[in-house]
């Protein structure tokens, strides 16, 4: 595909609004940097936790104002996420809408979970682009599965309680801002242009058929560099890297199962336990374990033989980019969908995080490392991802420029 660099006649101003999690932000940063490099004035709203990452792109950082500026939901409960998104949308509209209006932007960019981003663009009558860190869920069959029935029942109960409640948050949105929030706005926030930071080759078939979803490939702009990580200990070893990402990592019971599974075995285990877990709990860990609260993941994946993961899209993209097979332990429906696709493509196996045992963990990991078919498939898709990643930020920016130019006509 030929890349088109659209000429800039004058600098435009874009406001970027993000849902405050690492997973929602990391994929966007390469495109933000490219927008800045091409002369756009980029103003990026998010929480203070992400200021450093965002400022590395050259964008101007603005902290969200309001009462809700921290996203902490135990076990990533989708029902609680839905409720939190609506609460945060009310909060961000009340405390940030006037400031954004005064910025007088030409267009809005938001991520797929940022409900207030879509709504602010609608209120201000501005063109908007949706940047997606994960697969779009465009088919009801992808939501209605045996595992998701309890979640859907909770969502249905929430909608019923909202209907009968006189002072519900959705009623507040309708009354104050004339917004009738649809369920789809909390999961996708679909716009006329929706850019997906993954490969069309691994997307569900339903998403591949949608013309308004543009797959650019993975974007790995932000690399955490930790000079104190003992990479020399990995030399000549079979290495298994275990990480539950940034949202699910407060799980000491799981980490104890990992220690039981691999203690004294031939593998070197690197385990990232997250900032919420006290590393002193593992002072007596076996000698074949390196346990850290955080690790330089992208650099580490270049040197490991297996990733044990929660199946977040960013971690999966990074693993495929480095040709690493995966043992997938999804926590919610989006991750289950991603895990299913990775398994179908022969790059990994899926286990239930709730039912996993130390014996089963070792058995599956041993098969994934020792059976060359998984590595072969991972290397096959690696070549596609490496090629796509070189230009994903360029393709995304070209598409944004073209789309916004069309809206201006």
User: pTM of the prediction?
Assistant: 0.84
* 94-111 confidence digits (pLDDT tens): 999 999 999 999 999 999
* 138-195 confidence digits (pLDDT tens): 544 444 444 444 555 555 555 544 544 444 666 777 677 777 766 666 677 889 999 9
* DSSP symbols for 203-244: S-HHHHT-TTEEE-----------TTS-GGGGTTS-EEEEE-
Residue 218: per-residue pLDDT: 92
Residue 214: per-residue pLDDT: 92
Domain boundaries, the chain: 13-221+388-408, 231-386
* 220-262 confidence digits (pLDDT tens): 886 666 678 999 999 999 999 999 987 777 788 899 999 999 9
- CATH for 13-221+388-408? 3.40.50.2000
Residue 176: per-residue pLDDT: 74
* DSSP symbols for 132-189: ESS-----HHHH-SGGGHHHHHHHHHHHHHHHH-TT-HHHHHHHHH-----THHHHT-
* 252-265 confidence digits (pLDDT tens): 889 999 999 999 99
Residue 377 host element (H or E): helix 372-408
Between the two ends of the chain, the Cα-to-Cα distance in Å is: 26
Give the domain 231-386 fold: Rossmann fold (3.40.50)
Tokens representing residue 408 in the block: 């201006």
Checking if the pLDDT of 2 tops 60, the result is no
Alpha-carbon span 128 to 145, nearest angstrom? 32
Alpha-carbon span 365 to 324, nearest angstrom? 12
Residue 328's contacts (CB-CB under 8 Å, 6 or more residues apart) are 309, 310, 311, 316, 335, 338, 339, 342, 343, 348, 349, 350, 351
CB of 273 within 8 A of CB of 284? no
CB of 19 within 8 A of CB of 70? no
Q: Name the β-bridge partners of 217.
A: none
């Amino acid at each position: 595909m030929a890349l088109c660099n659209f000429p800039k006649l004058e600098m435009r101003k874009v406001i970027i609004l993000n849902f405050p999690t690492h997973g929602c932000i990391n994929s966007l940063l390469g495109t933000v940097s490219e927008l800045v490099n091409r002369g756009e004035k980029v103003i990026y709203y998010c929480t203070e936790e992400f200021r450093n990452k965002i400022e590395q792109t050259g964008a101007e950082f603005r902290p969200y104002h309001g009462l809700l500026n921290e996203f902490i939901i135990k076990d990533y409960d989708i029902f609680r996420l839905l409720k939190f998104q609506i609460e945060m949308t009310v909060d961000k509209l009340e405390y940030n809408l006037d400031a954004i209006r005064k910025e007088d932007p030409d267009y809005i960019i938001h991520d797929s979970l940022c409900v207030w981003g879509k709504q602010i663009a609608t209120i201000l009558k501005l063109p908007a682009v949706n940047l997606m860190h994960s697969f779009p869920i465009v088919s009801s069959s992808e939501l209605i599965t045996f595992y998701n029935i309890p979640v859907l029942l909770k969502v249905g109960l929430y909608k019923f309680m909202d209907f009968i409640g006189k002072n519900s948050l959705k009623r507040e949105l309708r009354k104050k801002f004339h917004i009738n929030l649809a369920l789809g706005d909390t999961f996708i926030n679909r716009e006329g242009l929706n850019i997906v930071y993954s490969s069309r080759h691994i997307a569900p078939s339903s998403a591949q058929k949608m013309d308004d979803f543009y797959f650019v490939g993975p974007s790995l702009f932000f690399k955490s560099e930790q000079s104190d990580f003992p990479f020399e200990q990995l030399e000549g070893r079979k290495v298994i890297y275990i990480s539950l990402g940034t949202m699910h990592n407060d799980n000491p019971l799981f980490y104890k199962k990992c220690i039981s599974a691999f203690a004294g075995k031939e593998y070197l285990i690197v385990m990232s336990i997250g900032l919420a877990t006290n590393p002193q709990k593992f002072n007596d860990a076996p000698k074949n374990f390196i346990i850290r609260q955080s690790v330089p993941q992208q650099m580490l994946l270049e040197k490991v033989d297996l990733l044990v993961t929660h199946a977040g899209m960013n971690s999966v993209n990074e693993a495929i980019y480095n040709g690493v097979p995966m043992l997938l332990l999804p926590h919610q429906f989006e991750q289950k969908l991603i895990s299913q696709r990775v398994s179908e493509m022969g790059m990994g196996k899926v286990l239930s995080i709730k039912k996993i045992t130390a014996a089963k963990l070792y058995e599956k990991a041993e098969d994934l490392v020792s059976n060359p078919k998984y590595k072969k498939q991972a290397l096959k898709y690696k070549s596609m991802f490496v090629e796509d990643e070189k230009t994903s930020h360029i393709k995304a920016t070209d598409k944004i420029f073209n789309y916004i130019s069309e809206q201006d006509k």
